[in-house]
Chain A
Amino acid sequence: MEKIEAKDVNFYYGDFQALKHISMSIPQNKVVAFIGPSGCGKSTFLRLFNRMNDLVPGARLDGEILIDSRNIYAPGIQVDELRKEVGMVFQRPNPFPKSIFENVAYGLKVNGVRDKEFIAHRVEEALKGAALWNEVKDKLNASAFALSGGQQQRLCIARAMAVSPSVLLMDEPASALDPISTAKIEELICEMRDQVTIVIVTHNMQQASRVSDKTAFFYMGEMVEYDDTKVIFTNPHKEATQNYITGRFG
């Protein structure tokens, strides 16, 4: 089943066309990786799925993006409602200046959940889901800043998952982390794929090949190739893709 569908998406920052005629569909409960050199538009494209680019002045989109067959750019779509459905984890861990508990509870609270018992239950579930519970269960009231970088990133994953999104966008989630923390994040991705559809932008080719079911290669605002990860990494059909993944990029 298709979870996300992009139909002939063009995206502009002012006069600059950042994305050119991109159409793709992302199947439900799969992990899809976006790879490509810096500035190729992969992050821009990712941020269209939760309308994060709305904040950028001068940005303009044509084409359609459908999530669960609903155009998320149609008039009448509430952006904050959309973002409950489509969570996001960023490149740098960005915990709030609050306690560990409050960080995870934040998404529930801003969306109007008041039931304390439910919140506590959900926070525990989310922290367990992010493999962080055992490390923090005795210090839930400690500041999130006291955690290590890798723990902070897992906290951010727990925070995103606490509101039960059906899509999780990850924008280079491990690029600021050491190899062990990176491995933990990758493990989480594999475990979470039963619950959410994951779209991950990464500069680390091995990461893309390890965690994803499908891979899309972007270059200069175009989607050059999109196929099963196995095909992309053993026998890509486009020369540009092959040059990029083998490191022969002119």
Chain B
Amino acid sequence: MNIPPYPAGHSARKRRSQTIAFIVFRVLSLLIVLVLFAILGFIIYKGAGVISWDFLTKAPEDGMTSGGIFPAIVGTLLLMLGSAIVAFPVGIMSGIYMNEYASRGWVVKFIRLMTNNLSGVPSIVFGLFGMALFVKYLGFGDSILAGSLTLGLLSLPLVIRTTEEALKDIPDGIREGSLALGATKLQTIWKVVLPMGMPRIITGLILSLGRVSGETAPILFTCAAYFFPQLPSSVFDQCMALPYHLYVISTSGTDIEAQQPIAYGTALVLIVIVLIINLAAGFLRKHFEKRLR
């Protein structure tokens, strides 16, 4: 057998270019982490000072130049809950339908294309649509209901997709095993497929909650109140929300100087909420997976 003419020194050059490439990758990744830490550090530095028990539990006072952000925290949590109630059942059921029932024809392809498009629509457009449909046409007015519905629509594509992906990864052998024992398709989905997909579905759901908590645009025209110090008493009430509150006091406040620390404090609370949600997602996922092992 002939040995091809390997050029001298090629091997060393190969190794050198690999080393250089890896160094570049590593530096870039570290840079991103640095930027993240910078943002977090900046917000903690600026906002930690105003955090206190009163800040978390009291309503804004003196034209929002002092007092707390309690109504905004409650409002954000309520909107998250509301959007979850709207999006989860619909999203999970569509995901199940698309992966388990619909044969892989053009209908499913079309639905999938549409959901993907839906997730590309800017959130402000959702806001406008929500205003037109829920606030005006259905007459809900600016309310938690209209806001929840709009946010639910916004998170729907993500929920559908994570459900679909989670179910797609479950091997067909498991489904066949169940069907071969005389189980119906519904029994198979309910007793075997869903429990197996649960960890990933739940993670997807919680991540979508995190996204909802930070949205401003969709609630701008449908729900959020500029100032609404008392807590809402029904779903037809308006409410405050952290991201909108942040927006309001940093752009159209009465006293920018006095409100700046409050803005940073609000941002910090929002970030912490999102962080807690993401940690909870990871924890729940681990918990469910452990139950499966």
User: With A90-B173, A94-B177, A106-B191 given, is the CB distance from A143 to B182 under 8 Å?
Assistant: no
Cβ-closest chain A residue relative to B289: A97
| CB of B103 within 8 Å of the partner chain | yes
The minimal Cβ–Cβ distance linking B44 to chain A, given in whole angstroms, is 41
B180 touches which of A52, A143, A145, A146 (Cβ 8 Å): A52
| CB of B116 within 8 Å of the partner chain | no
CB of B182 within 8 A of CB of A83, answer yes
The prevalent SS among residues of B at the interface is helix
Q: How far is the CA of A13 from the CA of B179 in the complex (A)?
A: 21
CB of B181 within 8 A of CB of A107, answer yes
| CB of B272 within 8 Å of the partner chain | no
Q: How many residues of A contact B (CB 8 A)?
A: 29
CB of A57 within 8 A of CB of B103, answer yes
CB of A111 within 8 A of CB of B182, answer yes
- Which B residues lie within 8 Å of A80 (CB)? 182-184
Cβ-closest chain A residue relative to B288: A97
| CB of B30 within 8 Å of the partner chain | no
Which has the most chain A C-beta neighbours within 10 Å: B104, B171, B177?
Answer: B177
CB of B184 within 8 A of CB of A90, answer no
| CB of A18 within 8 Å of the partner chain | no
Against B, the Cβ 8 Å flags (1 = close, 0 = not) of A98-116 are: 1000000011001100000
The minimal Cβ–Cβ distance linking A54 to chain B, given in whole angstroms, is 9
Q: How far is the CA of A40 from the CA of B178 in the complex (A)?
A: 26
CB of A160 within 8 A of CB of B196, answer no
| CB of A3 within 8 Å of the partner chain | no
Q: How far is the CA of A91 from the CA of B179 in the complex (A)?
A: 15
The minimal Cβ–Cβ distance linking A33 to chain B, given in whole angstroms, is 20
CB of A81 within 8 A of CB of B174, answer no
A96 touches which of B184, B192, B291 (Cβ 8 Å): B192
The minimal Cβ–Cβ distance linking B200 to chain A, given in whole angstroms, is 13
CB of B293 within 8 A of CB of A110, answer no
Q: How far is the CA of A225 from the CA of B196 in the complex (A)?
A: 43
Q: How far is the CA of A94 from the CA of B172 in the complex (A)?
A: 9
- Which B residues lie within 8 Å of A160 (CB)? 180-181
The minimal Cβ–Cβ distance linking A142 to chain B, given in whole angstroms, is 10
CB of A90 within 8 A of CB of B182, answer no
Q: How far is the CA of A120 from the CA of B104 in the complex (A)?
A: 40
- Which A residues lie within 8 Å of B182 (CB)? 80-81, 83-84, 107, 110-111, 163
CB of B176 within 8 A of CB of A90, answer yes
Q: How far is the CA of A96 from the CA of B188 in the complex (A)?
A: 10
| CB of B12 within 8 Å of the partner chain | no
| CB of B39 within 8 Å of the partner chain | no
CB of A94 within 8 A of CB of B173, answer yes
Q: How far is the CA of A81 from the CA of B182 in the complex (A)?
A: 6
- Which A residues lie within 8 Å of B180 (CB)? 50, 52, 83, 87-88, 90, 160
Cβ-closest chain A residue relative to B292: A97
Which has the most chain B C-beta neighbours within 10 Å: A97, A106, A146, A159?
Answer: A97
CB of A156 within 8 A of CB of B177, answer yes
| CB of B187 within 8 Å of the partner chain | yes
- Which A residues lie within 8 Å of B122 (CB)? none
Other 13 A-B pairs with CB < 8 A, given A83-B182, A94-B171 = A57-B103, A80-B182, A90-B176, A90-B180, A92-B171, A94-B174, A96-B191, A97-B292, A110-B181, A110-B183, A110-B187, A111-B181, A163-B182
Closest 10 CB pairs of A and B: A107-B181, A110-B183, A88-B180, A94-B173, A94-B177, A84-B182, A83-B182, A97-B292, A80-B182, A110-B187
Q: What are 8 A-B contacts with C-beta separation under 8 Å?
A: A55-B179, A80-B184, A90-B173, A96-B174, A96-B191, A97-B192, A106-B183, A143-B292
